[in-house]
Chain A
Amino acid sequence: MDWAPIWLSLKLATITTLLLLVIGLPLAYWLSKGRSVVRVMLEALITMPLVLPPSVLGFYLLVAFSPRHGIGAWLAHTFNIQFVFSFPGLVLASVIYSMPFMIGPIKSALQQLPISLAQASYTLGKTERETFVKVLLPNIKSSVLTAIVMTFAHTLGEFGVVLMIGGNIPGVTKVASIAIYDSVEGMDYHTANNYSLLLFAFTFVIVTVVFIFNRNKIKSPLE
């Protein structure tokens, strides 16, 4: 069995999760602070990949990053970057696509914390940043872990967008889900089964771990 697609999937999921953690924590905090029009609209945009068909994102990315016009032409000429058919392109697509899984749990956990927690910290002279890092974050540890794990697992399972903008290049964009599709189409059911079984077991373990970790709380890891 060729392990390259599996490694590539793990690499993509790891990088995406790390990036989203860096983007997600401050963004979720900002979103949790109020309900202004801007916040609501941004949150709607972030959540949309949950319900939007992946083909919509795939199509727009394909058009946006075509070196013939717009952003794609600018990127190609000034930086010599082409996002379509490249690993960074997959990372970009995955960051957009998995963002609700990172933002959602963290934001709702922050909103459920009693406001007195932050107020007490401010009264004791702590800045907003200190309060967030030292008071709020430790109190939502399990939700952050849920967010990380679900983001990772969801990126592993990404398929539609990658199929449209990846170009199926071995070692670059041929991730595990694409390798499975490819072997099924080529009637190589043995290889397809190997990859699928591996992903099945791996995902099962991941989700089980989240449930065990959250066993004291009666809620789905998606919240």
Chain B
Amino acid sequence: MLLKINKLYISIFLLTICFISITSVASAQTIKVAAAANLQSVIGVLGKDFKQKTGVTVEPIIGSSGKLVAQISNGAPYDVFLSADMDFPAKLAKNGFTDKPPVVYALGSLIICSTQNIDLKNWTKLIVTDKVSKIAIANAAIAPYGRAAEEALKKMNLLDKVKPKMVYGESVSQVNTYITTGVATLGFTTQSLVMDPANTTKLNWQPIDPKTYAPIQQGMVLLKNKNGNSAPAVKFYQYMLSSSAKSILKKYGYIIP
């Protein structure tokens, strides 16, 4: 009886070892890219193009910039960080998670967007009316697009008036969910949502006047790992500044510096 149980334990142990080794083998030609949520639709396209050119697989980790910085600060093993602003990557540089200051790889555009057939051209008048019950916005503390949206609303003296209608997504991805499922009447999000050819939901949108918010400069940093920067990670960093990456980003509504 005892022998049988011992055997059982040994086989479970061996099986576990097997699974662990299987998962670690696959990571040889793979890099982990922490990407701000506004890049959700474009990062897959960039990854595919990069793989075609170099054979390296890009594993994206999507989240709000603030959340990703919190993860990196606590030792998340990511190779490159694509933020939605310059402050978060600058913070990483200050704390020694990267050697170089962040570089701008794209400028983001803020839009107002809805599944409903409402007149978004006059959105400043519309959002204070009863026609709009819920306004989705990203959490300004961790999501730069949320910060930009609050800034624009404040500048137009609308923030306090619409605050009771506001619902907060933890990133622009969640805001996109709230918009596309229609649970929020409208929301403030990234232009890349409506430029995404894979998006089948019919969306009604208008750009927000860029004069009303500070430019969304999106910064990138190469992160220091235990054994320094791997060659594929450096390659991806350079690729993001290349003309092929720029043309993809442009297609998704980003402005290229």
Contacts and interface: CB of A to CB of B under 8 A. Distances in A.
B181 A168 contact: no
B167 A169 contact: yes
A84 B183 contact: yes
Contacts of B184: 85, 167
Contact of B139 (A65, A66, A67, A168): A168
Contacts, number: 62
B70 interface: yes
Nearest to B136: A167
Interface in B168-190: 168-170, 177-178, 181-184
Interface residues of A, number: 22
A109 to B, nearest CB: 35
B73 interface: yes
A72 B134 CA distance: 14
Contact of B141 (A68, A84, A85, A186): A186
B178 A186 contact: no
Interface string B118-142: 0000000000000001101001011
A67 B132 CA distance: 12
B204 interface: no
Given A82-B133, A85-B183, A167 B168 contact: yes
Contacts of A135: none
Contacts of A186: 66, 70, 141-142
A185 B115 contact: no
B168 A187 contact: no
Give the dominant DSSP class at A's interface. Answer: loop
Interface string A55-67: 0000000110111
B168 A82 contact: no
A62 B184 CA distance: 10
Nearest to A80: B133
Contacts of A68: 115-116, 181-182
A66 B67 contact: no
B74 to A, nearest CB: 9
B167 A66 contact: no
Contacts of A165: 183
Nearest to B185: A67
Given A68-B182, A82-B134, A185 B167 contact: no
B170 A65 contact: no
B166 A169 contact: yes
B69 A187 contact: yes
A66 B179 CA distance: 10
B65 to A, nearest CB: 10
Nearest to B116: A68
Interface string A158-194: 0000010101110000000000011011110000000
B64 interface: yes
A182 B139 contact: yes
Given A68-B115, A85-B134, A185 B181 contact: no
A168 B136 CA distance: 11
A207 B166 CA distance: 37
Given A66-B183, A182-B139, A185-B142, A168 B64 contact: no
Contacts of B170: 163, 168, 181-182, 185
A66 B181 contact: yes
Q: From B115, B178, B182, B184, name the one whose CB has the most chain A CB atoms within 10 angstroms.
A: B182
Contacts of A65: 183
A127 to B, nearest CB: 47
Contacts of A163: 170
Given A66-B181, A66-B182, 17 more contacts: A63-B181, A65-B183, A66-B183, A67-B133, A67-B182, A68-B115, A69-B182, A82-B183, A85-B183, A85-B184, A163-B170, A167-B184, A182-B141, A184-B70, A185-B64, A186-B66, A186-B141
10 contacts: A63-B181, A66-B182, A67-B183, A68-B181, A82-B183, A84-B183, A163-B170, A167-B178, A168-B169, A187-B66
Which 9 A-B pairs have CB atoms at the shortest separation, nearest pair first? A167-B167, A68-B182, A168-B168, A84-B183, A66-B182, A185-B67, A186-B141, A85-B167, A66-B183
